[in-house]
Each structure stands twice: as C-alpha cells, then as structure tokens.
Amino acid sequence: MAVGDLAVAARPRLRVRVRELLDRERVLGPLFVTPALLLLVLLVAYPFCMALYFAVSNAFIGRPSHFIGLRNFVNLWQSDAFRQTFQNAFVFTGSAVALKLVLGIALALLLNQQLWFKRAIRGAVLLPWVIPTALSTLGWVWMFNSLYSVVNWTGIALGLMDPPGPNWLGQKYYAMTAVVTVNVWRGLPFFAITILAGLVSIPRELYEAAEADGAGPVARFWLITLPLLKPVLAVVVLFSTIFTFSDFNIVYVLTHGGPINSTHLFTTLARQVGLETGRIGEGAAISLYLFPALMFVVWAQLKFVRRQVY
C-alpha cells in the first residue's frame, strides 16, 4: 500500500478518536468553560488582584510604591468626602431601586393589558435601556441646565415652580434628585420587561377563579399577582441593586460627584482620587470598599430568594 493511501486511511481514524474524546464529559466540559474562565481571569481576577496590591501601598503616579498595610483604609474613614460618599451610595441605591420597583410593577401591569400597537409600545419602552448611558445622560444634562432647563420651563408653565426654578445640578439635594431620576429613567425598562415576563407566566385560570369568588382588581393583585411575582422581583432587585450601587456613567456625566461631594459614589470618588489626583493606592482602597458592601447585599437578596422559592 502506498504512503498516500496510508495517510488517507489514517484520517477517518483520527476523526473517530477526536469525536470519542469530545464525547467525554470530562473533556468537553472544561473545553467549553476554558474561554469564559480566561476572560474572567483577564478582566476580573487580574484587575482585582492589582487593586488589592495598590490598596495596601502608597502607590502614586510616577513614584515607586511601598507597602503600608491598611493605612489607606483607615485614612479614608477620617475623610469627610469618603463618609459623605458612603452615605450617598446607600441613599442613591435605596431610593432608585425602590422607585424602579414600584414604577416597574405599574408599567408591567399596564403593558400586560390589551393595548393597540402592543409590540411597538413594548419596543419603545426599551429605548432608555438600549441607548448608551453616557449619550442619553448628556441629553439630561441639557434638560437640567440652570439657564435653559426644559424641566424648569415645564414646571413654571404648569405653576409647579417659581421662576427661575431650581438649579438641579448645582444644589446639593436637587443634584441627588437629578441623578436618582436619570437612574430610574434608565433602569425602569429592565424592571418593566422582566416583571412583564413574570406576569405572562401566571395562569389566567387563577384570576378567573378569584374573579368568580368576587375578588376585585386590588384583591387579585395582592393575593395572586404579588405572591407569584416575589421570586422574579427578588432577582430583578438583586441585579438592579448591584448595577445601581456600582453606577458610574450617570453621576460622572451629570455632576462629576458635585456639588461639594453630594452625589459622589464609590466609583466616581475612586476615579477622582486615583486618576485625577494620582493617589492610586487610595483610589484602589475606595473601589475595594464596594466588595464587602455588595457581598452583603447579594447575601441578603439570595437568602430572601431561597425563602420565597423553597
């Protein structure tokens, strides 16, 4: 037999061996997981380890760093700006998630009704979630502008505000209201569409039986809709809390953390301290404070989900 014939005959055998090898779970599973694992190592594990290294050093741009232990973490608690940021993070997250939850349920109930152009309306609802955050927030910067604010003009025209209206981005409490409003506007579609998916999965027979027993719309909502939506609500609140707590784009584009640190979050303060002032060590320490806070939130939410499901 010629050498060429031997090579041709060996190809099917090689293919069979490869197929047999790929059919084994011990080989196929790690093969599929490896690309995702590499991405996690490069994009999550490596930056996290570098942040740990910088957080325990006096790293400064252009200077050699030295190990200083937990001094950065201790010094942060002596900073008024950091304590204000710590408070801002929980106020911002709590108020934004609560508003998105209430408005998301209301919007999902509305979208679940028989409406004309239902598909077009559902698609339009997703627009705030689809548009890039920085781009859409720039539009809100113009709407909240102190000189030609559309919000102020509308409020004055309706008699809800006295001229010239509040300086939304230049006054402490108004600035926090503005960033919460934009976050709610952007995150509301995520709540509405996810809750709508939960509403669609509820059997219609339950509502028909309750209506036959004389239950009104409010009673049906509290006795049927809300209990069956609790697992969905717990999951959507969990993800929204993580996204909101670590938000950066909205606050940075709207206020840059001002005025007087009144809207700073961990992410924006970490950028300001670490990049704008060059104190890499302190900036890394600020970002690492997100980790235990988010771990607590995730633990509490998962515990609630398990209670509801099991």
48 lies in some domain: no
**Containing domain of residue 104, as a range?**
80-309
Count of structural domains, the chain: 1
pLDDT at 9: 46
Residue 25: pLDDT above 80?
Answer: no
Is residue 28 a part of any domain in this protein? Answer: no
Does residue 80 have a pLDDT over 50? yes
298 belongs to a structural domain: yes
What sign for the dihedral angle of Cα 107, 157, 186, 92? negative
SS (H, E, C) 46-71: HHHHHHHHHHCECCECCECCCECCCH
- Residue 1 is predicted with a pLDDT of 47
Distances (CA, A) of 242 to 47, 94, 181, 194, 224: 19, 11, 18, 16, 28
Residue among 252, 264, 128, 111 at smallest CA distance from 185: 128
The H-or-E segment that residue 111 falls in is: helix 80-111
**Residue 27 domain flag:** no
Highest mean pLDDT of the ranges 10-19, 53-62, 90-99: 90-99
Residue whose tokens read 């988010």: 294
Average pLDDT over residues 278-301: 84
What sign has the CA pseudo-torsion 45, 47, 50, 52? negative
* Domain of residue 198, CATH code: 1.10.3720.10
Radius of gyration of the chain measured on its C-alpha atoms: 27
Residue 30 lies in a domain: no
Tokens of 128: 């705030």
Q: Give the CB-side neighbour count of residue 48, counting CA atoms within 13 A.
A: 9
For the chain, what's the residue count? 310
Contact 41, 35 (CB under 8 A): no
User: Residue 69 falls within a domain, yes or no?
Assistant: no
Q: Tell me whether residue 191 is in a domain.
A: yes
Query: pLDDT at residue 162 above 90?
Result: no
Reply yes or no on whether the pLDDT at 31 is more than 70.
Answer: yes
Per residue in 212-264, pLDDT (tens digit) is: 888 788 888 888 888 888 888 888 988 898 889 889 999 999 998 888 889 99
Which among 45, 25, 21 is positioned nearest to 33, based on CA atoms?
A: 25
Q: What is the pLDDT of residues 177-205, one digit of tens each?
A: 999 999 999 999 999 999 998 888 888 88
- Gap between the Cα atoms of 265 and 267, Å rounded: 5
At CB < 8 A and 24+ separation, what contacts does 61-67 make?
A: 61/278, 61/280, 62/278, 65/280, 65/281
**Which among 71, 1, 131, 36 is positioned nearest to 284, based on CA atoms?**
71
Looking at the domain assignment, is residue 14 inside a domain? no
